[in-house]
């Protein structure tokens, strides 16, 4: 069933917006056992009118670097080697902590903070499916999404650690004198593109056996052509990858913030000395 088949060829995106709501309806309708469960599609469109425009309420990655500041006198007195080694030790610790937190069973699925929800439009469809006794399909996809993220995160550790080892003195200075998430921003700049390529096939494998995933991809792909949903929600593989990466960088950012706020908590004299000087 093509939910866009009756759109005029010259229909604008604005005019097509009400049609966006039918994607969730189409997903549900494809899986609902009609005629044993019938519903009014027009009424359904009214209920779902804004479902694809609301966006997810998930955690966002850390904010932009607000700017650099002059180094403190204590930091200025340190050698480049000492400051660089302290920073690299802190960043490696942040990577270890984030990967160990997320890259394990229930690292995403079992955590209210890190769990990845179904895409917004699919959440609406899942409500309808539960009404029809088909909640198991939605639950299976929910689990597959989060298990894919848990499997993907450990694959990021090597690239993240490599980016620490290859850090230049200029990079180190910018991080140490930058904003509260400057290290996390550095990781994102250095690793997001290659990690996206690593995560995508893992996400694809995890959702391949879930019928609802195939249905969603078919209708969401059509919606993306009209600009009705975000590009990273046009397929579940892309959605999982971006959500997992955002949470990974946020977890690294949380560790960075903790070290900056309390250097002694890092358990390293060198880390404490360098970040204490900030």
pLDDT digits 0-9 by tens, 199-223: 999 999 998 888 888 888 877 767 6
Instruction: Return the pLDDT at 23.
Output: 54
* Model pLDDT for residues 25-66, shown as the tens digit of each residue: 555 555 544 333 333 333 333 433 343 334 334 444 444 444
Q: Is residue 190 part of a domain?
A: yes
Per-residue pLDDT band for 268 (boundaries 50, 70, 90) equals: low
User: For the residues 114-129, what does the mean pLDDT come to?
Assistant: 83
In a domain, 7, yes or no: no
Q: How confident is the model at residue 151 (pLDDT cuts 50, 70, 90)?
A: very high
On whether residue 51 sits in a domain, the answer given is no
Instruction: Evaluate the CA torsion angle 94, 98, 104, 110 in order and state its sign.
Output: positive
Answer yes or no: is 38 within a domain: no
pLDDT confidence of residue 52: 34
Is 34 domain-assigned? no
- Report yes or no on 10 lying in a domain: no
| Burial of 66 (C-beta count, 10 Å sphere; 0-12/13-18/19+) | exposed
Whether 27 maps to a domain, the answer reads: no
Whether the Cβ atoms of residue 148 and residue 244 lie closer than 8 Å to each other:
yes
Distance CA 134, CA 123 (A): 13
> How many CB atoms within 10 Å of residue 98?
27
Q: Is residue 231 part of a domain?
A: yes
DSSP string, 131-197: HTT-HHHHHHHHHHHHHHHHHHGGGGHHHHHHHHHT--HHHHHHHHTS-TTHHHHHHHHHHHHHHHH
* 9 vs 120: which has the higher pLDDT: 120
Domain that holds residue 174: 75-117+130-276
Number of domains into which the chain is organized: 1
Span 148-175, average pLDDT: 92
Q: What is the pTM of this model?
A: 0.70
What is the pLDDT, as a whole number, of residue 63? 41
Q: Is 49 or 78 the better-scoring residue by pLDDT?
A: 78
In terms of average pLDDT, the best of 171-185, 233-247, 249-263 is 233-247
């Amino acid at each position: 069933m093509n939910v866009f088949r009756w759109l005029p060829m010259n229909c604008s995106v604005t005019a097509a917006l009400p049609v966006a709501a039918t994607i969730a309806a189409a997903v549900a309708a494809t899986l609902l056992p009609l005629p044993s469960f019938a519903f009014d599609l027009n009424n359904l469109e009214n209920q779902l009118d804004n479902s694809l425009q609301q966006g997810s309420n998930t955690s966002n990655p850390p904010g932009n670097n607000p700017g650099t500041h002059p180094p403190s006198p204590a930091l200025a007195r340190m050698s480049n080697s000492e400051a660089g080694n302290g920073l690299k030790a802190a960043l490696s610790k942040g990577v270890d902590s984030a990967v160990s937190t997320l890259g394990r069973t229930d690292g995403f699925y079992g955590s209210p903070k890190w769990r990845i929800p179904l895409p917004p439009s699919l959440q609406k469809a899942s409500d309808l499916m539960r009404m029809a006794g088909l909640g198991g399909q939605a639950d299976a996809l929910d689990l597959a999404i989060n298990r894919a993220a848990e499997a993907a995160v450990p694959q990021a550790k090597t690239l993240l650690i490599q980016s620490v080892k290859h850090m230049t003195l200029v990079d180190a200075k910018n991080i140490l004198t930058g904003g509260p998430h400057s290290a996390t921003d550095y990781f994102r700049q250095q690793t997001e593109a290659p990690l996206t390529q690593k995560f995508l096939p893992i996400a694809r494998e995890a959702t391949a056996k879930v019928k609802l995933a195939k249905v969603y991809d078919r209708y969401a792909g059509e919606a993306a052509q009209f600009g009705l949903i975000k590009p990273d929600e046009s397929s579940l593989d892309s959605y999982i990858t971006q959500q997992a990466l955002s949470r990974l960088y946020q977890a690294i950012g949380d560790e960075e913030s903790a070290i900056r706020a309390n250097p002694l908590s890092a358990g390293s004299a060198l880390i404490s000395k360098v970040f204490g000087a900030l």
